[in-house]
Amino acid sequence: MSFSSVKEPAPMSLAAAGPDALDHRRAVRWSEVRLIATVIAKRLLAGVVVLFIVTVLIFLFIHAAPGGPEVAIAGLDATPEQLAAIRELYRLDDPLPVQYWTYISSALTGDLGTSFMLREPVADAIGRALSGVTIPLIIITWTTALVFGVSLGYISARKRGQLLDRTIVGITVVGATAPMFATGLLISTVFGVQLRWFPFFGSGSGGLDTLYHLVLPALTMVIVMLASTTRISRVRFAQVLEEDQYAFAKARGVSPRAIFGRIIFRNSAVQLITWAGSVIVGLMTGLIIVEQIYSLPGIGSLLITAIGSRDIPMIQGITLVIAVAIVLVTIIVDVLCIIVDPRIRRGMEADA
Amino acid sequence: MTTAITMTTTTTTTIAPPALEVRGLTVTAQRDGHPVPITEDLDLTVAPGEAVAIVGESGSGKSVTAKALMRLLPMGLTVDGAVHLGGRDTTGFTERRMRRLRGTEISMVMQDPFTMLNPMETCGAQLAVTLTGPDGRRLSGARRREEVVRRLAEVGITDPAVADKYPFELSGGMRQRVGIAAAISRNPRVIIADEPTTALDVTTQKEILDLLNSLRTTHRIAVVLITHDLGVAFSLCDRVYVMYAGQIVETADASTLMDQPKHPYTASLLAADPPIDRRVEKLASIPGSVPPPGRRPAACRFAPRCEWAVDACRERPIELLQVGEDHAARCIRFAEIGDGLQALAMARRDQPHTGSLAVPAAPVITTRDARRVYGEKVAVAGATIEVRRGESVGIVGESGSGKTTLARMLVGLTLPSSGSVQVGGVELSSRLSRADRDRVRSTVQMAFQDPSSTLNPSRSVGSTLREALRLVSLEKLDERTAELLELVGLPPDYAKRMPAQLSGGERQRVAIARGLARDPDVLVCDEVVSALDVSVQAHILNLLRDLQTKLGIGYVFITHDLAVVRQITDRVYVMRRGEIVESGPTDQVLDEPRDDYTRSLLASVPSH
Amino acid sequence: MTATSVIPAVRRTRWGVGSLPPVTVTIALVILAGVIVMVLFPGIAPLDPDRIDAAAALQGPSAAHWLGTDELGRDVLSRVIAGARTAFLAPLGLATGIVALSLTIGLIAGYAGGWVDTFIGRIVDVLYAVPALLVAIVVVGVTGGGFVMAIVILTIFGLPSSTRLFRAAAMERVRLPYIEAARTVGTSPVRILFTQMLPTLRPLIVATLFLQFTYGLIEVSTLSFLGLGVPPGASDWGRMMFENRASISANAWATIAPGVLLVLLAVSTNVVGDWLYNRYEAKERQR
């Protein structure tokens, strides 16, 4: 394209900013919105397929357990009549696909069956465990780990190579690796049993007391998550700080705040969002350990006891909930990344 | 009663202070505890609106200088010396004060327009971030938009939609313009352009250089152009500073430097630049290589490579001496050798034109309508070319011309989507017999562009060569390796070295040796000299010419540089957007181009 | 022709790359060596780790039992030393298996490209989101499966992250001139993978081995801690913590000693793996 002389400022600047250009921009934005909506729809569909596969697998797998579910329920020394009665009760003689269908259709209405060991609807037990303990714990841990981890990572990256950075890296190496059950035991023993600063057993009596009881468990999980978040953020921030775009922004006098928000943060957003998703998934595994150590009646303990008692509906219900959560998290992370990074967006538009 | 007293004041005409003045700029790095100077004692003066070039090859320290001027050095480097902006001394300024100066007094444009811009923001948003209204606050939406469009127009972008595009949606030239617009958005006095056109095509390069030139008048911006390309320097700048191994070795205005260089390095640099208007018998090159920081000689830095060096040159550090009006050089022998230097510089202009070396023979490679598409994109649109034994054929074009894709098709790395490629009588396809494939491999081989990745870094030079040699025969591998190395001018003990221990030029030689291992009839050279310094480039081109005579080998030479084409090819194909737009004997195409595109290519080359 | 050869890389401090001082790495290596000694020479244990002595149950540290005894009267110190075996060998086997498989799959996917790559990529992407340990807990718990089943599950679900790593490394290298040159010269693809690509990946492979060892250790010991995988009574560090937790007030050492060693081993291998990975990365960036 030829270079036009610039003796006078282009007189068409006002006209160029006029209605035509505006419409064009509106059209671009609208097509982007449509794209994102399509992507969400596609991902949800894929998620459903994955969930289908997962539930089938779980279903088959449980029914393939030695002795069949009826032995699990009644115990190994049940009489044949008792076994037959159980089979009758739970309709275990129906062909598998029918059993599966019954399960799924009731699951969609919120009925996940009845727990063998607790004798109450699975959905209720899960709901209680989640709202009472698990979800508050996840929220506290996730927020703390991310906020402090990203901040520490940024500080570390800014001062990379210097003493502060090396100290942080040194500490986070230990923190990120120490197995949660080891740190959990250590913390509950030291801060709970010995120093008696915080309770280390059970979830208290609701409200503030529960939060008080969640401090040590949250701390246990935060240590690992914060350390690894710091490391991941530091690596990414340091990368961006070495890039030309950072030097160029500084060279032309962009304010430090704008540099942080637009260059450093935006260029790390995709990695951070993806990582935040991994943290949630990692917390699900961590929950199991932590709830065991601190005897919290959350979904992790529920799962362990269900496994121990061969409580099939409960196991199915909890794994279903976990699978749904993982699928949702993956979809949200994907969609957010698309929204944040224009390259992914425009790349998809080109393919579309 | 008051009497009005009129005072007559004699106004002395004051000369405006220089836009940029640098005294004694020294950048030091810390290596293993002791300080290592990267650049030493640089003095620079740039008047308002003037354009000044800092020319140097790799290892000269020119890029470090650019960052040092803005106080944007990476950690681990310290800077000493005074930098005056518009008469104000900035030494001892805190980072806070410097920040206020950046963008408003001094600004910078970098080499790679892609990495310079934020991929996450639209061009308009990036431009607008430094725009403020008269009250110093950020502008409102509509006003901001107006300003952005106006700034884009200032750099020649008349389509306002560009403001809503992301950098990755624009071409290299457009991105560089956006970068320049962003850099000058607050009307700095000085803009430092660090190799701004190195990553661009030659036609785009011209546009950007013209743009920078015009900004001198419209915005009264002084330009400090950092480059390794003398042609670029001379086409834009009034004065030139030549740097070598961390020091300024000569400075003068452009025409004086061109005609009367007073430092051997400058003269050699001028002589080594391949001329575009004629083919010379042998390209002047500079023996040896640039000493890295920490291993520079204490006395004259250039002495080890200088043909005029005497004992006095190696005794004491050499000062920058005044050799003429506004002309300084760091050479104590400038008076005696002045004529010799001038002769060297002129030589490339006076050397007679030599004819091509080719003797017409049977074709080794032929393509007929070879076409390569990637989905919707057409990389090569039906190319029909011929390469004969013993001749050197050039394929010249800019980025996106398809020349690299065509080269890959000739070697079999990429198969044509349609059309045919025949090598040594064998038609290339995905289902070739072992014997056919072998025949192809022994007929044509390839050498690649990037010296830093053309050799496997974890294998020694010898093992890389043996890997190729063993496919011919398993006997006497060590002997044949030594022979190959000798052929490309390297000592046989290089076989034990790792690529990291070799310089860029040496690595390219090894790459060429590898290409010759199977004794091919044709060697395809894909931009093999483009990433090398000018003096090293001359070595390699001479070597290739020698090999052509000695081995009777033919070349397919892919390049964007027309001067190189003139020196090393007998025939040339010009490509544009996947099509061959012109072809013929090199001299004919370059002297009397028939196609408009060829003409514009020739016109865009900055010459001297 | 940038000046990067002139400007020393920011992170190249006197201590090599990354920000880990050599002290940390040395300590890590020492700890690692200590564990390996325990693995190779279980005979240094003073007493038989499985010898039950009900009379001496739950005693604190004494001359006869440096770390006291557990609830069955077994010597804690000897059990800890014996436990080094599973603590070291299980994750080692796991890591070796994962690295070997993911390297093969990743290289093939990265080098071959095309539909092979897409196919493998899709599977990897789906498996990637699933937490290996969670699946292991559920499956092993429900089926009552043993150690082998746990390892199999952990291997399968531990493959995706390394596969991605090696695939990315292979894809980067495929386009490099020296690989293309090898193809042009006529070297066979298999030979290219082995003699051209693999040597450049050696540091990455070693670093990944260490890091996978770390994850494996954490996973296996967590399973043991929950009572899964390892048979009861085995002198496995995680299992010891599981069994002795109830009696922690009587002899805390029975729980703490294995815990401390677990943490030390995990951190050490992570430190070494990190250090190696940083060195690999820095070399890559210098190209």
pLDDT digits (tens, 9 = 90+) for A20-39: 666 777 777 787 788 888 88
Residue A237 has pLDDT above 90, yes or no: yes
C264 found inside a domain: yes
Residue C19 has pLDDT above 60, yes or no: no
Q: Which tokens go with C226?
A: 């929950």
C199 found inside a domain: yes
The band of C1, judged by pLDDT with boundaries at 50, 70 and 90, is very low
Is the Cβ of A10 closer than 8 Å to some Cβ of chain B?
Answer: yes
Residue C162 has pLDDT above 90, yes or no: yes
Q: What is the distance between the terminal CA atoms of chain A, rounded to a whole angstrom?
A: 29
Buried b (16+ CB within 10 A) or exposed e, C85-105: bbbbebbbebbebbbebbbeb
Residue B355 is predicted with a pLDDT of: 67
B17: three-class secondary structure by DSSP = coil
User: Which partners does chain B have (≥3 C-beta pairs < 8 Å)?
Assistant: A, C
Model pTM score = 0.85
pLDDT digits (tens, 9 = 90+) for B44-99: 999 998 999 999 988 888 888 988 988 888 877 888 888 888 888 888 888 888 88
Q: Which of A13, A243, A342 sits opposite B153 (nearest CB)?
A: A13
Q: Which residue of C has its CA nearest to B449?
A: C177
pLDDT digits (tens, 9 = 90+) for C167-223: 999 988 888 999 999 988 888 888 998 888 898 898 899 989 999 999 999 999 998
Is the Cβ of A350 closer than 8 Å to some Cβ of chain B?
Answer: no
The band of A101, judged by pLDDT with boundaries at 50, 70 and 90, is confident
Q: Which tokens go with A243?
A: 């890039």
Residue B137 is predicted with a pLDDT of: 65
Q: Which of A17, A242, A267 sits opposite B160 (nearest CB)?
A: A17
A146-to-A154, A264, A277, C215 alpha-carbon distances in Å: 12, 16, 11, 21
Helix axes of A299-308 and A122-129: crossing angle, nearest 10 degrees = 140
- When divided into structural domains, chain C yields a total of 1
Q: Tell me how crowded residue C39 is: count the other CB atoms within 10 A of its CB.
A: 18
Our measurement of the distance from residue B536's CA atom to the centroid of its chain's CA atoms, rounded to an integer in Å, reads: 12
- Residues B409 and B416 sit within 8 Å (Cβ to Cβ): yes
Question: Percentage of chain B surpassing pLDDT 90?
Answer: 30
Residue A16 is predicted with a pLDDT of: 43
Q: What is the ipTM of this complex?
A: 0.84
CA distance A326 to chain B (A): 28
pLDDT digits (tens, 9 = 90+) for A168-211: 888 888 888 888 888 888 888 888 877 888 877 877 777 788 88
Q: Which of B30, B445, B452 sits opposite C184 (nearest CB)?
A: B445
- Would the CB atoms of C186 and B471 count as touching at under 8 Å? yes
Pinpoint the alpha helices (H) of B351-471.
403-411, 434-443, 461-469
Helix axes of B504-516 and B477-487: crossing angle, nearest 10 degrees = 120
Mean of per-residue pLDDT scores for chain C: 82
The band of A72, judged by pLDDT with boundaries at 50, 70 and 90, is low
Q: State the DSSP string of C34-87.
A: HHHHHHH-GGGSSS-TT---GGGTT--S-SS-TT-B-TT--BHHHHHHHHHHHH
The band of B133, judged by pLDDT with boundaries at 50, 70 and 90, is low
C52 found inside a domain: yes
Q: Tell me how crowded residue B354 is: count the other CB atoms within 10 A of its CB.
A: 12
In angstroms, the CA B348 to CA B566 distance is 13
- Residues B285 and B265 sit within 8 Å (Cβ to Cβ): no
C82 found inside a domain: yes
- Would the CB atoms of C267 and A174 count as touching at under 8 Å? yes
**pLDDT, average across residues B432-445:** 88
- Residues C254 and C237 sit within 8 Å (Cβ to Cβ): no
- Would the CB atoms of B168 and A248 count as touching at under 8 Å? no
**pLDDT, average across residues B230-245:** 91
C88 found inside a domain: yes
CA angle B162, B164, B168 (to 5 degrees): 75
CA angle B534, B535, B538 (to 5 degrees): 85
Q: Which residues of C touch B76 (CB under 8 A)?
A: 7-8, 10
CA angle B467, B473, B476 (to 5 degrees): 85
Q: Which of C2, C176, C184 sits opposite B446 (nearest CB)?
A: C184
- Would the CB atoms of C130 and A285 count as touching at under 8 Å? no
The band of A342, judged by pLDDT with boundaries at 50, 70 and 90, is confident
Q: Which residues, including other chains, have CB under 8 Å from residue B143's CB and lie 6 or more apart?
A: B133
In angstroms, the CA B220 to CA B16 distance is 13
Pinpoint the alpha helices (H) of chain C.
22-40, 76-112, 114-128, 132-143, 147-174, 177-185, 189-191, 198-225, 237-244, 253-285
Residue C114 has pLDDT above 90, yes or no: no
CA distance C25 to chain B (A): 20
Q: Given the DSSP bridges, would you call strands B20-31 and B34-46 parallel, antiparallel or unpaired?
A: antiparallel
Is the Cβ of A78 closer than 8 Å to some Cβ of chain C?
Answer: no
In angstroms, the CA B207 to CA B236 distance is 11
What is the CB-side half-sphere exposure of residue B359 using CA atoms within 13 A?
Answer: 4
Residue B280 has pLDDT above 50, yes or no: yes
Is the Cβ of A85 closer than 8 Å to some Cβ of chain B?
Answer: no
C243 found inside a domain: yes
Eight-class DSSP state of A241? H
In angstroms, the CA A166 to CA A159 distance is 9
- Residues B553 and B194 sit within 8 Å (Cβ to Cβ): no
C230: three-class secondary structure by DSSP = coil
Eight-class DSSP state of A319? H
What CATH number is attached to the domain comprising C233? Answer: 1.10.3720.10
C19: three-class secondary structure by DSSP = coil
Q: Is the dihedral of CA B476, B478, B484, B489 positive or negative?
A: negative
Pinpoint the alpha helices (H) of A159-207.
163-177, 180-187
Residue C94 has pLDDT above 70, yes or no: yes
A165-to-A168, B136, C265, C270 alpha-carbon distances in Å: 5, 37, 24, 18
- Residues B9 and B15 sit within 8 Å (Cβ to Cβ): no
Q: Which tokens go with B202?
A: 């030659």
C17 found inside a domain: yes
Nearest to B579 by CA among B371, B423, B428, B424: B371
Domain that holds residue C234: 12-286
C7 found inside a domain: no
